[in-house]
Amino acid sequence: MSIRVIESLATTEPLADVFSDRSILAAMLAFEVALARVEARFDVIPREAADAIGQAATADFFDAPELARETLRAGTPVIPFVKALTEHVRSVDPNAARFVHWGSTSQDVVDTAFVLLLKQALPLLEADHLRIDVALRNISEQHRDTVMLGRTLLQPAPPITFGLKAAGWRAAARRGWARIASRFSEALILQFGGASGTLASLGDKGIAVGEALAEELDLLYPDAPWHTHRDRLAALVAACGVATGSFGKMARDISLLMQSEIAEAAEPGGDGRGGSSTMPHKHNPIACSLTLAAAHRVPGLVATFLSSMVQEHERGVGGWQAEWPTVTAVVQSTGLAAASMAEVAEGLVVDPARMRANIDATRGNIFAERVVMMLGTSLGRDAAHQLLEQATRQSIAQNRRLIEVLEQIPEITRAIPLDVLRELDTPEDYLGSAKEFQKRLR
């Protein structure tokens, strides 16, 4: 398990493994081995040298803590990494050691290695998105006729269906994933430019080597190196921020629905999930909490990356060095939010009876808008609104159904027959286009 305790509420175990020291080293070695193999193919370095580099390139050889200490002094992990790799190659073939990292530069290794890690993260994010999509589709269909309170500014409003609410969550998640997938397709791209981004050290073979290297690593090949052009990664980071915000909205809704005073829906619990260290009765919204924490954390990280885009000339000072931990944290937070909400969606407990009871508890006051609209043509909207405002206050103060109050107001009974008036607080009859919207969000 690669998760550090301090990061245990900020990532998933699979994503922690993707960005672990061992994975980073493996990705950097993959770049160096592929580079040597391709350069040998184009007679840039001897084939024997490429074979020796491939033989020596094992992650187990490296001392990750020592590499981290030396990285802090060097300002890049590649300098101590290449030094250690060269020494190991020398032990296999002394002549081959001088061809390690041939024609490349530190940022080529770091950027390409990180892109390879992102490539590993992509299917993990996709799998949890698919879980969310399937679960919310099922919930939306199952509860397309389940009426519940609409809530505006946290106060009761005219009814909606839970199917519509779930469909809204699903649609936002689908849009979020479409953005992320699109941005990943742009960001999974080779970085290979050499010292100044011209591959001058490779003469007229630079582009051919670069194209073959991209093919070897199964990455896109750019029109030119992108050392200080970070827009592709920025777009991915921003897309992750939007998606995490959408997961956070879903988590906020469900955590509010879980409040004991509401009790309309709840995330799954049990087996230590959602308990309290002191209160045995508690069922806390833990998965929602983790998602909300991610949604709070990611916007600042997105801003950090956007500010780091302002990089100098052909190689940046400070901005580039800020990216690795920033993008890692964004992707891991997005992944944690997706995994958490997949768990919630797949195990969500919904209580339609409680939803109906909470509608009834308003004593029909949420249908005041409906009465206003019916009276508008005869009394005028402003006069009708004022009349219903007084009536709802009386209903609340006297703990009576709004309809009972309205039956005693002549201006209303003259405009609305009693048999019609007495049916105006039936929630199924005041859903407007809710079902059609729910269908359109499929």
CA–CA gap between residue 265 and residue 7 (Å, rounded): 29
Using CA of residue 258, residue 264, residue 268, residue 272, what is the dihedral sign?
positive
Q: Helices 64-74 and 78-92, interaxial angle, to 10°? A: 130
CA–CA gap between residue 158 and residue 431 (Å, rounded): 8
Helix residue ranges, H only, 19-105:
21-41, 47-56, 64-74, 78-92
In this structure, which amino acid lies at residue 217?
A: L
Check: CB of residue 163 under 8 Å from CB of residue 146.
Answer: yes
Catalytic residue among 276, 307, 378, 433: 276
Parallel/antiparallel/unpaired status of strands 155-161 and 349-350 = unpaired
Query: Is 333 known to be catalytic?
Result: no
Angle, vertex CA 147, rays to CA 173 and CA 254, nearest 5: 40
Query: Is 378 known to be catalytic?
Result: no
Three-state helix/strand/coil letters over 151-204 = EECCEEEEEEEHHHHHHHHHHHHHHHHHHHHHHHHHHCECCCCCCCCCCHHHHH
CA–CA gap between residue 80 and residue 94 (Å, rounded): 19
Catalytic residue among 131, 315, 356, 401: 315
CA–CA gap between residue 82 and residue 80 (Å, rounded): 6
Using CA of residue 156, residue 158, residue 163, residue 164, what is the dihedral sign?
negative
H or E, element range at 150: strand 147-152
CA–CA gap between residue 247 and residue 340 (Å, rounded): 9
How far out from the chain centre does Cα 53 lie?
38
CA–CA gap between residue 110 and residue 315 (Å, rounded): 13
Using CA of residue 331, residue 319, residue 82, residue 40, what is the dihedral sign?
positive
Q: Is 350 helix (H, G, I), strand (E, B) or coil?
A: strand
Angle, vertex CA 438, rays to CA 437 and CA 442, nearest 5: 110
Active site residues: 276, 315
